[in-house]
Structure 1
Amino acid sequence: MLKNFLQQSSAKYITMKQIYYFLHQHGSSTKANLVEQLKMKQTTVSRHLEQLLSEKIIKFRTFGASSGGRPPAVFEVNPDAGYIIGIDLSRTKTTLTLANCKFSDIDHYSFKMNDKHTPAYTISLLAKQIKYLLDKHDISNDMVLGIGIGTVGPIDRIEGMILEPDAFIAEGWHHIPLVSELRKKVNIDTIQIENGANLAALMSGQNCQDTILYCISGRGLRCGVVSNGSMIHNRTGDASSFGEMIIDVQNGTSLATLISYDYLLKEVNRRYQEYHGRAFLDTDKKKDTMDQLLVALEQGDTIVQAAVSDSAFMYGIGIANMVNVLHPDKVVLNSELTIHYQPYYQKIIETAKQHIKRFEREPVTFTMEEQRDQVISLGACALVFQGYFS
């Protein structure tokens, strides 16, 4: 059983886990390559491979190209040797993903957060859906490596708590012992919590050595950083702190304020009042208004387009400041606006490049997140898996 194997800590299992981790990170390998890369004796590698095969933790993938004689066997991890549950718990939507140990989505469940989603109700709903998915796929609890939770900060990783987040629709989301409360209901001991932006960065940086800056914008701004496959996070787990960067010194206005959806809607309304003597739409109906704003962009509304472009310029300045400090190899943007309105994304990147120092000498790659619905929940799965090797 994979979980039992990963929990072992003797010298024998440490070297065996090195082989398993190498196969997991690199996809597959021959025995000769394992010997060379891990600097182990061939007899040791052979013995460990035999045990891993017998316990169905790894499997044969195929045979490699032969240089004469019998072709070498190629080994890979057995993706169904264990399963992980990842949760993306955000202010507006929560996603629960059941993944195999290769982080492939087996099944998932999502629900929108509204005023009835108090902590107690949400935790009970998550526990119910975890049981449903495990029963549906005939997976016992001892086959589950653990549960990872990605959420908004600030958090207490050690105590497994959500501390004082902003903007949850329902009341009561302050100082919630999320890990212990969920553990009581699901009978799974290994549960870890991390800021969602960090987990998105972790998932985006799987199996690479790059430094990645991952930015999630919408109601606010959350940023995560991964370097050499490891998260770089602050003590409080508050990924929103990047958004507290002051952009407008005269008014003390932060980056998050100038790029948030609420700001955009208010700014569009202000400009409509100035040019047309009326509001764009009622900002109390935020979701409907945001949908209408996207429609207006697609239809070429010049007032809306100008407001969005100005906000994108500020976002680009903020990104440039982050790049100048962090020197990432790659910047990933995740937002509803970047997906639905390409000029917004282009304006951010164009502005950022103009204000990044040493760009010619240290080029940065910019990209847009395309699998935004499950990147955090799958990153939460990766967090649990990595926990067995730290």
Structure 2
Amino acid sequence: MLKSFLEQTSAKYKGMKQVYQYIHANKPVTKAKIVEEIEMKQTTVARHLEYLVSEGFIKIAEYEESSGGRPPALYEIEPDAGFMIGVDLSRIESTIILVNMSFSEVDSFTFAMTEKHTPPYTLQLIKEKIEQLLEKHNIPRDMLLGIGIGTVGPLDREKGIILEPDAFIASGWKNISVIDGLESFEDEKILLENGANVATLHEYMKGNILDQTILYCISGRGLRCGVLADGHILKNKTGDASSFGETIIEVNERRSLASFISYDYLLREVNKRYLNEKSFPFYHKEKGNNQKELMDQFMKALASEDPIVLEVVLESAVTYGIGIANVINILHPDKVILSSELIHTYPPYYEKIVASAKQYIYRMKREPVHFNKEDRNVNTISIGAAVMIFQSYFE
């Protein structure tokens, strides 16, 4: 089984794992290219390839056109040799995804996070859905490489504990052991990381550019930013990616970047201006305790180009751009990915953020930064969490 092979740490398997990892990242590839790139003897590579093919971990995808003699074989991984589970455990919506060794989605399940989604209820649901996905696709436990979870920090990664996150709708999300909550998978590898960090892993694997630095920003209830450089996540001790949002934007009142772009701020500011300009509120507090309903109302008003809502959103975008420019000036990323429901719902918001940021990036002409929106057709955080599981076997 692939899982057993990847768990090996002896010198005997080190070279084979190196060859497998190279094929995974560069498929399809010839034996000659492997020899050249990883500086291993041709006879050793040939022996490793023979073993990997015989075990069903890799396969010959096709043959290159021959210039004379036997055509060179092109090797690629066997996608169904193993599987991983990735979980995006977020404040508003969570996703469980089953992926194969190519990180291609086999199946997934998404659910909204509501007032009833307390930690025991949510973790039980995640556990049941993982079991159902494995059963549905006839995947035995020894083919499951592990479960990666991207969530909201701060975290205790080693113990698998979500410490004190903000803004979950349900109560109780404090000092929660995810591993204890998934007790039926106690024999499996379970890794916990901030969702913004694993999102950068997915973006990196997709581009496969070794020296690229990526900044991945997720905004909504707050602001989380993940950073990846040279294929490695830049981690702080607590797994709290929200610290970027605490950049001070307004000195006199010590207002942070997150406080100018969060959904809470947008709703409050729209309500305040409605009262000032129209003498009636955008929403009534006694009727508006459910933020999802309020944001649905907000998005509808935005879509209909309510002038007050538009004004607040675009002002917030300018501030967001300034804050992101500060982060870019420190980290010098090659690529910046922006993700939020608001960005996808109202494209001018994204455009204003980027335009604002570019005004304050001091190296923009010399070393351009490439901005992109998150691809909504891909479960970025959950697939990134699965990538984290895969990478852990080579550390």
CA distance in 1, matches of 2:359, 2:97: 39
Determine if contact 2:124/2:181 at 8 Å carries over to the other structure. Answer: no
- Partners of 2:384 and 2:299 in 1: CA distance: 29
Aligned to 2:256: 254
Q: Which residue in 2 is equivalent to 1:224?
A: 226
| C-alpha displacement of 1:372 | 6.5
1:201 matched to which residue of 2?
200
Partner of residue 109, structure 1: 109
Aligned 8 A contact 1:56 1:78 in 2: yes
* Correspondent of 1:331 among 307, 318, 336: 336
Letter in 1 for 2:259: T
Q: Deviations over 1:72-118 (max 9, x none)?
A: 11000001000000111111221110110111110001111122222
3-state SS of paired residue (2:79): coil
Task: Read off the aligned partner of 1:208 and give its amino acid letter.
Answer: I
TM-score (norm 1): 0.97
- Over the residues paired in the alignment, what is the CA RMSD in angstroms? 1.2
Range with greater deviation from structure 2 (317-326 or 204-213): 204-213
Q: Distance in 1 between matches of 2:184 and 2:125?
A: 10
Structure 1 residue 43: Cα displacement: 0.7
Instruction: For 1:300-319, list aligned pairs within 5 A.
Output: 300-319=305-324
For the Cα contact (< 8 Å) 1:154–1:164, is it kept in 2? yes
1:186 equivalent in structure 2: 185
The answer to whether 1:10 aligns with 2:10 is yes
Whole-Å separation in 1 of the counterparts to 2:101 and 2:378: 19
Cα offset for 1:39? Answer: 0.9
The whole-number CA distance in structure 2 between the counterparts of 1:285 and 1:131 is 31
Instruction: Give, as a single letter, the amino acid of the residue that structure 1 aligns with 2:34.
Output: L
Write the mapping of 1:1-390 to structure 2, written as runs, cut at 5 A.
1-182=1-182, 184-206=183-205, 207-209=208-210, 210-282=212-284, 283-371=288-376, 374-390=379-395
Measure the CA separation in 2 of the matches of 1:307 and 1:187: 48
SS at 2:81's partner residue? Answer: coil
Check the 8 A contact 2:151/2:192 in 1, yes or no. yes
Deviation of the 1:373 alpha carbon? 6.0
**1:294-348 Cα distance to aligned partner (Å, 9 max, x none):** 2222222211111100000010010000000000000000011111111100110
- Paired residues of 2:202 and 2:381 also in contact (CA < 8 A): yes
Q: For 2:188 and 2:292, locate their aligned partners in 1 and report how far apart those are by CA, in whole Å.
A: 37
Deviation at 1:151, TM superposition (A): 0.6
**CA pair 372-277 structure 1, distance change in 2 beyond 3 A:** farther
Give how far 1:290 is off: 1.4
The runs of 5 or more residues in structure 2 that have no matched partner are none
The secondary structure found in structure 2 opposite 1:56 is coil
Range 224-233 or range 379-388, more displaced? 224-233
Residues 372, 225 of structure 1: alpha-carbon distance in 2 compared, 3 angstrom cutoff? farther
Q: Distance in 1 between matches of 2:61 and 2:372?
A: 32
Deviations 1:243-265 (A, max 9, x none): 01111111111110100011101
CA distance in 2, matches of 1:140, 1:188: 13
Secondary structure, counterpart of 2:62 in structure 1? strand
Q: How many Å separate the matches in 1 of 2:95 and 2:289?
A: 26
- On the 8 A contact 1:95/1:110 being kept in 2, the answer is yes
**Aligned 8 A contact 1:329 1:365 in 2:** yes
**Separation in structure 2 between the aligned mates of residue 234 and residue 241 of structure 1, nearest angstrom:** 10
Residue 179 of structure 1 contacts residue 193 of structure 1 at CA under 8 Å; is this kept in 2? no
**Residues of 2 paired with 1:30 and 1:371: CA distance?**
34
Contact 1:124 1:185 in 2 (8 A): no
Alignment TM-score, normalising by the size of structure 2 = 0.96
**3-state SS of 1:80 partner:** helix
Supply the distance in 1 between the matched residues of 2:69 and 2:305 (Cα, whole angstroms). Answer: 67
> Is the 8 Å Cα contact of residues 145 and 188 (structure 2) preserved in structure 1?
no
1:54-87 Cα offsets, whole Å, 9 max, x none, are 0000011101122222211100000100000011
The aligned length equals 389
Cα pair 1:35 1:45 within 8 Å, conserved:
yes
The gaps in structure 1 that reach 5 residues or longer are none
Q: State the Cα distance separating 1:208 from its structure 2 match.
A: 1.8
Q: Does the 8 Å contact 2:113/2:169 carry over to 1?
A: yes
